[in-house]
Structure 1
Amino acid sequence: MSSKDESVFSKEALMGTQAGKEIMKQGLLRGKGYKQFNQYKEKTEQEFGSFAKRFVMSLHGAIQADNSPASTMQKFAEEVGSADLVPAADALQDLKARLSSPDVLQDRVARILNSNFVKMTFPVFNALYDGSTQYFGDGESQEKRDAVIDGHIIAIDLSEPMDRIVDRDEDLEYLEDYKFMSPYILAIARQKIAQGGDSVLKAFEDGFKDARVGQYLDVKLKMRPASINDEVMGDCYKKYRAVMGTAGRNMALNRRPLSDIFYMGMAKAGECVGCGNEIEDAIKNGSVKIPSWPLYYALNTGDVRRGFELTMQKSELYLDEAKMALEMLPENFSLKPFLEFLFLTVRHYNQYWYNELVRGAHFDEFEKRLPK
Structure 2
Amino acid sequence: MSGKDESIFSKEALMGTQAGKEIIKQGLFKSKGFRQFNQYKEKTEQEFGPFAKRFTSSLHAAIQSDSSPALTMEKFASEVGSQELVPDAGALQDIKARLSSTDVLQDRVARILNSNFVKMTFPVFNALYDGAAEYFGDKPQQQQDQEKREAVIDGHIIAIDLSEPMDRIVDRDEDLDYLEDYKFMCPYILDIARLKIAQGGDSVLKAFEEGFRDARVGQYIDVKLKMRPSSINDENMGDCYKKYRAVMGTAGRNMALNRRPLADIFHLGMAKAGEGVGCGNEIEDAIKNGAIKIPSWPLYYSLNTGDARRGFELTMQKSELYLKEAELALEMLPEKFTLRPFLEFLFLTVRHYNQYWYNELNRRAPFADYYSKMEAAVNRQ
TM over 0.5: yes
Q: Does 1:88 align with 2:88?
A: yes
State the partner residue of 1:240: 244
Q: Does 1:257 align with 2:257?
A: no
State the partner residue of 1:136: 136
Letter in 2 for 1:122: F
Measure the CA separation in 2 of the matches of 1:100 and 1:362: 45
Q: Does 1:29 align with 2:39?
A: no
Measure the CA separation in 2 of the matches of 1:53 and 1:367: 44
The alpha carbon displacement at 1:362 in A equals 2.0
Q: Does 1:195 align with 2:199?
A: yes
Summarize deviations over 1:315-348 as a string: whole Å, max 9, x none: 0000000000000000010000000000000000
State the partner residue of 1:323: 327
Counterpart mapping for 1:134-213 below 5 A: 134-140=134-140, 141-213=145-217
Q: Does 1:302 align with 2:306?
A: yes
The alpha carbon displacement at 1:273 in A equals 0.1
Unaligned regions of 5+ residues in structure 1, if any?
none
TM-score normalised over the length of structure 2: 0.97
Unaligned regions of 5+ residues in structure 2, if any?
none
Counterpart mapping for 1:212-291 below 5 A: 212-291=216-295
Measure the CA separation in 2 of the matches of 1:92 and 1:240: 30
Pairwise CA RMSD: 0.4
Summarize deviations over 1:216-259 as a string: whole Å, max 9, x none: 00000000000000000000000101000000000000000000
Letter in 2 for 1:112: I
The alpha carbon displacement at 1:2 in A equals 1.0
Q: Does 1:103 align with 2:103?
A: yes
TM-score normalised over the length of structure 1: 1.00
Which segments of structure 1 move beyond 2 Å, counting only runs of 4 or more?
none
The alpha carbon displacement at 1:361 in A equals 3.2
Counterpart mapping for 1:323-362 below 5 A: 323-362=327-366
Measure the CA separation in 1 of the matches of 2:52 and 2:231: 40
Letter in 2 for 1:358: N
Letter in 1 for 2:131: G
State the partner residue of 2:2: 2
Letter in 2 for 1:39: Q
Measure the CA separation in 2 of the matches of 1:137 and 1:332: 12
Measure the CA separation in 2 of the matches of 1:159 and 1:365: 30
Measure the CA separation in 2 of the matches of 1:285 and 1:266: 27
1:314 to 313, 318, 335: 318
State the partner residue of 1:57: 57
Letter in 2 for 1:79: E
Letter in 2 for 1:245: G
Summarize deviations over 1:4-41 as a string: whole Å, max 9, x none: 11111011000000000000000000000000000000
State the partner residue of 2:68: 68
Measure the CA separation in 1 of the matches of 2:360 and 2:7: 12
Question: How many corresponding residue pairs?
Answer: 372
CA contact (8 A) 2:27 2:34 kept: yes
